[in-house]
């Protein structure tokens, strides 16, 4: 069976693989047998091997080096290019994170291959689906040159487990002088809340301009916490200083596709929809019955969020 390389994205400090990696392994399986490529300090692969095996990795290429984390994307692109030349895989699938996309671009140049970014689906014949122009256009494309390289948009594919042998194979990592030109000099760990990561959460509660203030975002957070959800925000809410930019959902923010998306005080502009319209169930709370978000919502509540949301939070909490 054809081999498909999958770049494994890991959680910080050896706490397993990210969901995006499981999604990439699942998507890669339609093209062939996935082999995960793990980068990190010595000992990293051992901490994630079982997780990769559970999602069908037939092989694990172990690209470990004491100083690989000291550089940005260039060494990873170099090692992946070397693997593409040696193994002639049928394709390479990479999670569509900012780092993943940069590695994929460099890999495409190094191997003279075609590269499809932010794909939401891959067919067995290699045709990829992309969503363009804020969700208005669905594009089907196929790479015709070199080894097809895909970056897979998060939450587009549901991870499905499948047993894989995850046989380890060590890859020699020699970082060229060219790849050492940009060095990481410091890392500051972002303060994480106890809420799930926005792009990986099964439930997202987002607030918009209708929330009216930073303080009032506690109403959104209260509902999110009662559901074990992540908090998101519209650009208008972010631009008004109600919530930090890293939580923005939409065309110029993050793309989410949870099981349940609750839009509170959000009108439903096309640029917001672009980041959430593939959510499985959409609930909207808005005081304007004509708000465009209701065209998209599966369930809608017309009312003042300051009344509706605390009441919902209270009921959900009481039923737990
Ligand atoms: C290039 C470009 C990129 C963009 N990227 C993004 C993006 O990534 N994400 C994004 O979100 N936007 C983006 N935008 C902005 C987008 O066009 C909208 O301006 C924005 O989404 C509006 O945010 P909103 O729905 O919170 O605000 P509004 O459109 O002002 O809507 C607020 C809503 O709250 C309701 N409301 C008010 N008070 C209450 C209340 N008490 N109870 C219940 N409902 C209430 C109102 O009826 C209204 O529907 C982008 C725009 C451009 C041009």
pLDDT tens-digit map of 159-214: 999 999 999 999 988 889 998 898 899 888 777 778 998 988 899 999 999 999 99
CB atoms within 10 A of CB 70: 14
Q: What is the pLDDT of residue 174?
A: 83
Ligand 1 is surrounded, with C-beta below 6 A, by 208-210, 234-237, 248-253, 265-267, 269, 271-272, 275, 285-288, 291, 304-306
The whole-angstrom separation of Cα 151 and Cα 127 is 13
The whole-angstrom separation of Cα 286 and Cα 294 is 9
Q: Is 0.95 surpassed by the pTM of this model?
A: no
Closest residue (by CA) to atom 49 of ligand 1?
267
Mean pLDDT of 65-87: 92
Q: Quote the DSSP letter at residue 8.
A: P
- Best of 217, 249, 250 for a ligand 1 pocket test (most atoms within 8 Å of beta carbon): 250
Å from CA of 313 to ligand 1 middle = 23
**Is residue 112 within 8 Å of residue 145, measured between CB atoms?**
yes
| Nearest one of 258, 266, 271, 262 to 240, comparing CA atoms | 266
* Maximum Cα interatomic distance, the chain, rounded to a whole number of Å: 62
- Best of 234, 290, 306 for a ligand 1 pocket test (most atoms within 8 Å of beta carbon): 234
**Is residue 173 within 8 Å of residue 63, measured between CB atoms?**
yes
Å from CA of 222 to ligand 1 middle = 21
Following CA atoms 158, 164, 166, 171 in sequence, which dihedral angle do they give, to the nearest 10 degrees? -70
Q: Is 146 left (phi over 0), alpha (psi -120 to 50) or beta?
A: left
The whole-angstrom separation of Cα 18 and Cα 52 is 10
Residue with the bigger pLDDT between 297 and 182: it is 297
């Amino acid at each position: 069976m054809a081999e498909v390389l999958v770049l494994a994205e890991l959680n910080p400090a050896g706490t397993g693989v990210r969901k995006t990696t499981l999604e990439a392994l699942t998507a890669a399986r339609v093209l062939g047998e996935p082999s995960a490529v793990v980068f990190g300090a010595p000992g990293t692969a051992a901490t994630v091997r079982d997780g990769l095996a559970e999602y069908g990795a037939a092989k694990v290429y172990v690209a470990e080096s004491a100083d690989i984390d000291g550089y940005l994307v260039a060494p990873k692109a170099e090692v992946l290019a070397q693997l593409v030349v040696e193994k002639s895989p049928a394709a390479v699938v990479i999670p569509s994170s900012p780092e993943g996309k940069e590695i994929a671009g460099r890999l495409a140049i190094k191997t003279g291959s075609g590269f499809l970014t932010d794909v939401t689906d891959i067919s067995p014949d290699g045709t990829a689906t992309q969503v363009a122009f804020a969700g208005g256009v669905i594009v089907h494309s196929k790479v015709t040159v070199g080894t097809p390289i895909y970056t897979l948009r998060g939450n587009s594919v549901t991870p499905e487990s499948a047993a894989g042998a995850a046989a380890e194979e060590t890859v020699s990592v020699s970082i060229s002088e060219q790849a050492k030109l940009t060095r990481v000099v410091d890392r500051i760990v972002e303060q994480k809340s106890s809420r799930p990561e926005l792009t990986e959460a099964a439930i997202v509660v987002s607030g918009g301009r209708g929330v009216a203030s930073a303080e009032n975002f506690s109403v959104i957070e209260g509902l999110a916490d009662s559901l074990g959800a992540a908090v998101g925000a519209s650009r208008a809410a972010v631009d008004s200083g109600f919530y930090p930019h890293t939580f923005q959902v939409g065309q110029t923010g993050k793309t989410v596709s949870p099981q349940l998306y609750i839009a509170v005080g959000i009108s439903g502009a096309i640029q917001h929809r672009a980041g959430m319209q593939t959510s499985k169930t959409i609930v909207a709370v808005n005081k304007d019955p004509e708000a465009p978000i209701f065209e998209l919502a599966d369930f809608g509540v017309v009312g003042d969020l300051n009344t509706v949301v605390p009441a919902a939070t209270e009921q959900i909490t009481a039923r737990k």
